[in-house]
Amino acid sequence: MQRTALQLFYLLSAILFVLGLRGLSHPRTARRGMFLAELGMLLAIIGTLFHHEILSYRWIVGGLVLGTVIGAPLAIWIPMTAVPQRTALSHSFGALAAALVGISEYARHGAHLGAGRVAVIGVEVMLGSLTFTGSLMAAGKLQGLIRGYPITYRGQNVSNLALLAGMAGLTVALALTPEAGRLFYLMVALALIFGVLLILPIGAADMPVVIALLNSYGGLTDAAMGFMLDNKIQIITGSLDGSSGFILSILMCRAMNRSMTNVLFGAFGKVPELTAGEEVKKPIRQTTVDEAAEVLGTARSIVFVPGYGMAVSQAQHRVRELADALKKKGVSVRYGIHAVAGRMPGHMNVLLAEANVPYDELYDMDQINPQFAETDVAVVVGANDVVNPAAKRERGSPIYGMPILEVERARVVIVCKRSLGPGFAGIDNELYYNENTLMLFGDAKDTMVKLATALKQ
Ligand code: NAP
C-alpha cells in the first residue's frame, strides 16, 4: 500500500515536472509551468513521506520547519534585483545537500557499498562539491562582493586541468580501492577548490553561460544521488534539470557568440579597469528631460532597450506608461531585448511581462538590429554592456565577440542612467561619446516619470 502510494505520487510528480518545463518554454505559459512544477515538487515530497524506511518523522518535521523559516522570508523579502544571486545561492545549497548525503553514505557504509556504488558516490560528491563552491563564487560576483570581470592568473588553465585530472584519477582509484577513505576526502577537497578556481576567471559576458552550466551540474549531482539512493524521482528531476541547464548553456553560448571551451578556458587578458564614478575625460552630450521629451515627441519610431538598471530602479511600469503616452501620439514603439540583459536569462521579458507590455512589441536581437537604421530614437534604459560597441571592435575586451544591440545606428540614442559608471563587465562604453548619443542622467524610474509628464505638457 505504502509503496503503491509512493510510486503513484512519483509518477504524477514526474509528469508535472515535464509539463512544467514545457510551460516554461514560453512567457505566455511560464506562470502555469511554474505552478505545475511547484505542484510536482509538493507531490514528490508527500510521496517520499510514504517511504518504508522512514521510522520517525521527528527529524523530517524539524528540517521542514527550519527550511520554511529560512526559505519563506528569503522568497518574500529578497528584491527582484537580487533574485539571480539568490538563485545561485539556492544552487549552492542544493549541491551542498547532495554532496553531504553522498559523504554520509560513504562515511556510514564505506567499502561495503561495492566498487560501482562508491564510484557513483565519488562522481556525485565531486559534482556537488564543485557546484557548491562554484555557485557561491557566482553569487558573490552577482552580488558585487567579488569583482564581476575575469580574475586571471598565470598558468590558470594548466592548474585547472591538473585539478580536474586529479579529481578524475582519484575517483577511478576509489572505485578500484573503495576502502581508501583518504582518497575520497582528498577528492572532496580538490573539488571544493576546483569550484572556486573554475569561476574566478569567468566574468562579464560569460557569467550567464556559467550560471546555466552550474545549474546543469546541480541537476547531474541530483541524478547521481538518485542512482546512489535508488530514488527514481530524483533520477528523473536530476536528469531534467541537468539536461535543460545544459541546453540553456548551449543556447546562451550561441546567443553570446562563444564556444563552451572559450567560456571555460578563455583565459581573458587583463581588462582596462574603470571603477564606478571614475571621471572620463571625453566630451559627452548631456541632455535635459525637456530636450529629451522634445526629441521623443517628434519621433515616429522608438525602440526601448532595457537593461539591468531598469531592474534596479524597478522602472518597467513607468517605461510602459511612457510608451503608452508615445503610442497615443501615433509613435511606433518596440522593445529590443538582449539575451543576457539584466542578471538572469529572460530577466527583461519577466519584468516587461509584469508591466503588461504586449509580447508582440518585444523583439530579440536578430529581429531588431536590422531595424535600428530606420529608427528615430533608441532609448537605452539602464543597459550598458549589451549596447557597448567594444564587443565588436576591441579585441581583448571581456565582451569581445558578444553580439550587441546596435543602438548607435538609430538617428538619436538617449541613454538613461545615473552616471558614466560601467556595467557588469566593468568597462567603459564608447557609445556614450558618440555624436548622436544624448546622456540623460538620473534614476531610470524618475527619468521615465519625468519624461512622460514633460511629453504630456
Ligand atoms: P549592465 O552592463 O550591468 O549595466 C547596467 C547599468 O545600469 C549600469 O551601467 C548602471 O549605470 C545602470 N543603473 C544601475 N542602477 C540604475 C538606476 N537606478 N537607474 C538607471 N540606471 C541604473 O547591464 P546590461 O546592459 O543589462 O548587461 C548585463 C550584464 O550582466 C552583461 O555583462 C551580462 O553578461 C551580465 N550578466 C548577465 C546575466 C544574465 O543571465 N542575464 C547573468 C550574469 C551576468 P549607473 O551606475 O551609471 O546608473
Return the ∠ at Cα 350 (arms to 369 and 456), rounded to 5°.
70
Report the nearest-CA residue for atom 14 of ligand 1. 309
Ligand 1 pocket check: which of 80, 379, 418, 447 to mutate, most ligand atoms within 8 Å of Cβ?
A: 418
Helix, strand, or coil (residue 452): helix
Separation of CA 388 and ligand 1 centre (Å)? 11
Could you tell which of 308, 399, 432 is best to mutate to test the pocket of ligand 1, judged by most ligand atoms within 8 Å of the CB? 308
Catalytic, 222? Answer no
Cα–ligand 1 centroid distance for 397 (angstroms): 17
Ligand 1 atom nearest the C-alpha of 212 is: 40
The single-letter DSSP state of residue 53 is T
Kindly give the distance from the C-alpha atom of residue 178 to the centroid of ligand 1, in angstroms, as a whole number: 49
- Is-contact 455 296, C-beta < 8 A? yes
**Euclidean distance between CA atoms 453 and 224, whole angstroms:** 57
pLDDT of residue 148: 67
- Residue 408 phi/psi, 5-degree rounding, is -65, -15
Sign of CA dihedral 167, 168, 172, 175: positive
> Which atom of ligand 1 is closest in space to residue 387's alpha carbon?
25
The CA 95 to ligand 1 mean position distance, Å, reads 28
Q: Quickly tell me which residue has 540623460 as its cell.
A: 440
Return all residues near 454 (Cβ < 8 A) that are at least 6 apart.
289, 290, 292, 293
∠ CA 234-239-240, rounded to 5° = 100
Element (H, E) at 84: helix 83-109
Q: How far is the CA of 382 from the centre of ligand 1 (A)?
A: 6
C-alpha of residue 307 to centroid of ligand 1, in Å: 6
DSSP 141-157: HHHTSS-SS----TTHH
Q: Are 409 and 376 in contact (CB under 8 A)?
A: no
pLDDT value at residue 19? 95
Q: Which atom of ligand 1 is nearest to the CA of 306?
A: 26
Q: What pLDDT is attached to residue 308?
A: 94
Burial label for 286, CB within 10 Å (0-12, 13-18, 19+), is exposed
Task: Identify which of 256, 286, 340 to mutate to test ligand 1's pocket (most ligand atoms within 8 A of the CB).
Answer: 340
Nearest atom (ligand 1) to Cα of 205 = 34
Which residue ranges have their beta carbon within 6 Å of ligand 1? 84, 204-205, 207-208, 211, 276, 307-309, 312-313, 340-345, 347, 382-386, 417-419, 421-425, 443-444
Distances (CA, A) of 262 to 210, 257, 268, 303, 401: 11, 10, 9, 32, 11
- Please give the chain's pLDDT, 457 residues, in tens: 777 888 899 999 999 999 999 998 887 888 899 999 999 999 999 988 888 888 889 999 999 999 999 889 988 888 877 888 888 888 899 999 999 999 999 999 888 888 888 988 999 999 999 999 999 998 998 888 887 667 777 888 888 889 999 999 999 999 899 888 899 999 999 999 999 998 888 776 677 788 888 889 889 999 988 888 888 888 999 999 999 988 988 888 887 777 777 777 654 434 444 444 455 557 899 999 999 999 999 999 999 999 999 999 999 999 999 999 999 999 999 999 998 899 887 889 989 988 999 989 999 999 999 999 999 999 999 999 999 999 998 887 878 888 999 999 999 999 999 999 999 888 899 999 999 999 999 999 999 999 999 998 8
Catalytic residue among 206, 222, 241, 385: 385
Ligand 1 pocket test: pick from 209, 258, 352, 424 the residue with the most ligand atoms within 8 Å of its Cβ: 424
State residue 276's pLDDT score: 46
Centroid of ligand 1 to alpha carbon of 314 (angstroms): 13
Indicate which residue's Cα is closest to atom 40 of ligand 1: 344
Write the residue with the smallest CA distance to atom 38 of ligand 1.
Answer: 343
User: What pLDDT was estimated at residue 253?
Assistant: 83
